[in-house]
Every structure is written in C-alpha cells, then in structure tokens.
Amino acid sequence: MSKLADQVRRHQIAAFFIITFAITWGLGFSYDAMRDPDKILLIPLAFVATCGPALAGIIVTRLSCTQPAQDRGRAQWIAFLAALVLSTVVCLAHQALINHVPLSIGMAGFILVSVIPVAFVISAAWSPIPAVKRYLASLISLRGVLGWALLAVVLMPGLLLLAIPIGSLLGRHSVSPSQIQGTGLTLVGLIAVKFLYQLFFFNATGEEVGWRGFALPRLQTRASPLVASLVLTVFWAPWHFFLWQAEGTPVHTWQYWLEEYLFLIPPTFIIVWLYNRSNGSILVAGFAHAAGNTALAFLPGGDWLVQTVITGLAALMLVVIDRMWRRLPPDHAAVYTSREPISPPILEPVHSPAHGVASQANCIATEE
C-alpha cells in the first residue's frame, strides 16, 4: 500500500472532509452557470462539485480497502447505464414540468453528460470492490426500513406545514403562494417529480452518501450522535458556500451564517436520528433530506424563525427521548467497523547453528 493510501486509511474522517471541500470548492466557480447563461457549459462541473461528499466517501473507501476486486465490474457497468438513463429522465421531467423549459434533443444530450457523476455514485453500489459495495448497499435498498422511509418522507414536510398556522397565530407573515402551480392529481405528480429530482440531484446521491453514509458512522465510533451531529453541521453549512453565493445570498455577512447554522442544526439532528434508527440507511436519510427541500419548494416565503423553532423543538424532543448524548454500542449498524481482513502470519525461516532451520511467526496487521 502506498504511503498516501496508508495515511488516508489511518485518517479517514480528515481525508473525507479534505477531499470533499477540494472537490466542491475547487469547482465552486462552476456554480456561476446558475446565474449566467453564457456559462451554461459549466453545469457538468457543477454536478461533479455537488457530488463532492459522495465522491470523497467513495475515494476514501476505495483507498482504504486492501481486498482485491471480486469481479471485472460488469454489474457496475450495467447499473451505471441504467442509472444514467433514469437520472436523465428525472432531470428532463423536472426541467419540463417544474422549470417549464422546452425540451430538445440537444438538451437531452447535455443532461445525459451532466448526470454522469450521479449515475456513477448510484452504480458504485454494485462495485466489484467489497468495501465500496458494502458502503453503498443501503442507498439502493428499503429492505427492513420501509416504515422509517415513510416517516422520513412526511416528518420534515409535516413540521414545515405546522409552522404555517403557528406563524399566523403569532402574527408572523404568512407563506407566499407557491410558484409551482397545480391542484389534485396534477399537484401530486409535480410533488413527486420535485421529490425525485431532489433525491437524485443531489440530496441523497451527492450529499447523504457522504455526510451520513460515510462521515457519521466514523464519527460515531468516537463520539455520541449529539456530538457527531454538531460536527457534521460545522462542515455542512460552509460546504454550500459557492452554491449559496451563486444564488445571490449574502454569504459575506455574519448574520447570514448565524441564521443558516440555526436553521440547519435541527434538520441535522432529525436526519441523524432517522439514519441511526433505520440502522444506517443512506436512502432513509436521503428521503428526509429530499422531502424537506421539496416542502420548502412548495411552501416558499415561510418565516424562517418559526420554522427553526418548530424543527428545533422536534429535534430537541428526539435528542431527549433517544438520549443522543450517549454513544451508540460498537456493534450498532450506524457505527463504523472495518471489515478489512488482517493479514495472516508470515512464516520466515530462521537459521540456527544449534537446531538447524526453525520457523518464526511474524504477525503483520494493519491499523484501522
């Protein structure tokens, strides 16, 4: 194993955050495509940037794995092509039905290229590398966690909806009309399209694969879910810097960052709670993240303070009920345990003048 790979393996959490920010901030200039039509060709790079946490998790996992590939990767290639088509369809549907952008063959081809990093992340769940495959297994499966998945879909939207009447009672300004118009089954369809878009781009595939899927289990080997959640929030907010800057938000003021941290801390605890309760399901965490952003898209203009207080009280209740200040047991599914095999003893001959050739066992073990 090279010195670099050995260092990554020994310091996986630090390596993850360094690579995550190197990818996302290194390509941060590509987010300018959001506000400048002349820079639209930068969009594929923006897709790579937003997949930074997931790509970092995959890279660190791959470098930390000493086991050889189990096959030639045919299953991953098939999964990649299927994910490429599915991701393209979801993105095109969002462009046509939500953004009302006329479709064309050229656009379809451009989106096909842009979604490559998303398709790669999904296909990595079929990786021939055992550690990578294990890492991403919960991204593509709802087995045993269907109930938690349903709760993840309704919990954050429910809290945001609850904030509307409470805000009205407190005299806070009401929610403005949604720019996404529709009623009945049409509205249900639009919500479904928006949810799938958020899930693919990039709440589950780009973010939760990294934040909750990779970083959280490793943080929880050393800290409680409470502390791990706070650590994640510290990094999660500034990771959005270039994206928020491209959206025109005042990222150079301390008031903005204070509000963002206050707004992000409760959802962090809620998603961590769902992840732990679902025995480390990346998909459940992705559902919660996507559902919250979908609700915000259909309920714009809500008072952020009321929303923060409501979600904060819900998060506090979960922390107290689950006693999240206590560390999880080492054998919990949401706590990282390396499954890397320990190298067997190597027998080397030792020449002895009195006894001829003897054998000496030298155990070589790798530090996790």
pLDDT in tens, 97-109: 999 999 999 999 9
Distances (CA, A) of 215 to 65, 68, 223, 334: 16, 24, 12, 11
Arithmetic mean of pLDDT over the chain: 89
Stated as kind and residue range, the H or E segment containing 349 is strand 346-352
Distance CA 23, CA 25 (A): 6
Q: Is 302 helix (H, G, I), strand (E, B) or coil?
A: coil
pLDDT for residue 29 is more than 80: yes
Would you call 161 exposed, middle or buried from its count of C-beta atoms within 10 A (0-12, 13-18, 19+)?
middle
Alpha helices, H only, the chain: 3-10, 12-26, 43-50, 52-64, 74-97, 105-114, 116-123, 130-136, 146-169, 184-198, 209-210, 216-219, 225-239, 241-246, 254-277, 282-298, 304-322
Quickly tell me which residue has 């021939």 as its tokens. Answer: 128
Would you call 321 exposed, middle or buried from its count of C-beta atoms within 10 A (0-12, 13-18, 19+)?
exposed
AA identity, residue 119: A
The pLDDT of residue 30 is 96
- Greater confidence (299 vs 316) lies with 316
Would you call 209 exposed, middle or buried from its count of C-beta atoms within 10 A (0-12, 13-18, 19+)?
buried
Distance CA 114, CA 54 (A): 16
Distances (CA, A) of 225 to 332, 334, 346: 12, 10, 40
pLDDT for residue 302 is more than 80: no
Query: Phi and psi (nearest 5°) for 279?
Result: 60, 40
The pLDDT of residue 175 is 54
Of 200, 224, 245, 233, the C-alpha closest to 47 is 200
- Greater confidence (253 vs 368) lies with 253
The pLDDT of residue 338 is 78
183 pLDDT band, cuts 50/70/90, is confident
Residues 6+ apart with CB under 8 A from 186: none
Quickly tell me which residue has 């923006």 as its tokens. Answer: 46
The pLDDT of residue 28 is 96
300 pLDDT band, cuts 50/70/90, is low
Buried b (16+ CB within 10 A) or exposed e, 111-138: bbebbbbbbbbbbbbbbebbbbbebbbb
pLDDT for residue 209 is more than 70: yes
Structure confidence by residue, pLDDT tens digits, 33-64: 988 888 999 999 999 999 999 999 999 999 99
pLDDT for residue 368 is more than 80: no
The pLDDT of residue 178 is 62
Lowest model confidence (mean pLDDT) among 138-152, 174-188, 240-254: 174-188
pTM of the model: 0.89
Distances (CA, A) of 304 to 95, 261, 312: 27, 12, 12
pLDDT for residue 120 is more than 90: yes
pLDDT for residue 264 is more than 80: yes
Cross-strand bridge partners of residue 361: 347
The pLDDT of residue 340 is 58
pLDDT for residue 349 is more than 50: no
Query: Phi and psi (nearest 5°) for 50?
Result: -75, -20
pLDDT for residue 365 is more than 50: no
pLDDT for residue 214 is more than 90: yes
